Amino acid sequence: MSRSDASGRAPANRLLAALPPRVFDRLRPSFEFVPLPLRKVLHEPGDAIRYVYFPCSGVVSVVIPPDGKGDGVEVGLVGREGVVGVPVVLGADSTPARWVVQVPGEALRMSADLVRIHAGRGPLHDLLLLYANAYLVQVCQSVACNALHPVEERLCRWLLGVHARVESDHFPLTHEFIAAMLGVRRASVTQAARGLQEAGLIRYGRGRLEVLDRPGLESAACGCHRIGQAELARLPGNGV
């Protein structure tokens, strides 16, 4: 992805790429190209939402902290298939969620005020509402999965979601971070990850993880992964 995404070429973000070229050309001056450094917090719970992010690479976790404090539990993942800032699309100016960069990358961002203006009607409005529905399905599925399914199945679902968005077999992840995202003890993640490694599905160590067998992970995951992916696949330009 190059800086020309904001100045001359089709955007790497799939939602924006699905817009008619003439529509995106009108939006270009409103975008700012920004890096997404690892563990960067893009928004804190309760703060006014200043920007909406359209990732071009990398992955952002949407996390709900208990009582607005602590690490919280992940309820959503966003990569270049979507947008970070759904509450703005739905008319809100704040959210109890924290947005954290899980895998570093880059994004096109727009001020929340400009999003409200540009998304008031037309193709961008329609596309963002479609994504908001897919995102809410993902959130609901994540909550149900975390409440009902074993840690190993949940870990497989989570790794598949990250893997699809990163579009690489290698990415930075630690057991501590995964445990926080899944809302379980680190020891539970270590045990589940060891089982997946012994089965030849992943390799991990020194803060990095490698997916060795995606079909195997899909077989080991719960059905929540397929439901979430099918919903995203319905979006124009997607199929993550």
Segment 113-171, tens digit of pLDDT: 999 998 877 889 999 999 999 889 888 888 888 888 899 999 999 899 889 888 789 88
pLDDT digits (tens, 9 = 90+) for 16-34: 999 999 999 999 999 999 9
Q: Which two tokens stand for residue 51?
A: 């920007």
Residue 78 lies in a domain: yes
Q: Which helix or strand (DSSP H or E) is residue 170 part of?
A: strand 170-172
CATH of the domain at 212: 1.10.10.10
Looking at the structure, tell me whether residues 213 and 168 fall in a common domain.
Answer: yes
Counting the structural domains of the chain, the total is: 2
Average pLDDT over the chain, rounded to an integer: 87
Nearest-angstrom CA–CA distance, 78 and 228? 12
Range of the domain at 212: 150-221
- What is residue 9's predicted lDDT score, i.e. its pLDDT? 63
Counting Cβ atoms within 10 Å, is residue 227 exposed (0-12), middle (13-18) or buried (19+)? middle
Is 233 a member of any domain? no
Asked if 104 and 171 sit in the same domain, the reply is: no
- Claim to verify: residue 97 and residue 155 sit in the same structural domain: no
Q: Do residues 189 and 126 both lie within one domain?
A: no
For residue 143, being part of any structural domain is answered with no
Mean pLDDT across the stretch 108-113? 96
pLDDT digits (tens, 9 = 90+) for 200-225: 999 988 888 899 999 999 999 888 88
Percent of the chain with pLDDT over 70: 93
The verdict on residue 231 lying in a domain is no
The enclosing H or E element of 179 equals helix 175-182
Out of 131, 162, 182, a domain closes at: 131
Does one domain contain both 127 and 214?
Answer: no
- Tell me, yes or no, whether 109 and 39 share the same domain: yes
Q: Name which of 5, 170, 202, 9 is nearest 104 in CA terms.
A: 170
140 within a domain of the structure (yes/no): no
Q: Is residue 234 included in any domain, yes or no?
A: no
| Domain membership flag for residue 172 | yes
Q: Does 154 lie in the same domain as 126?
A: no
In a domain, 166, yes or no: yes
pTM of the model as a whole: 0.88
211 and 109, same structural domain?
Answer: no
Question: pLDDT at position 171, please?
Answer: 85
More confident residue, 53 or 169: 53
Residues 29 and 118 both lie in one domain? yes
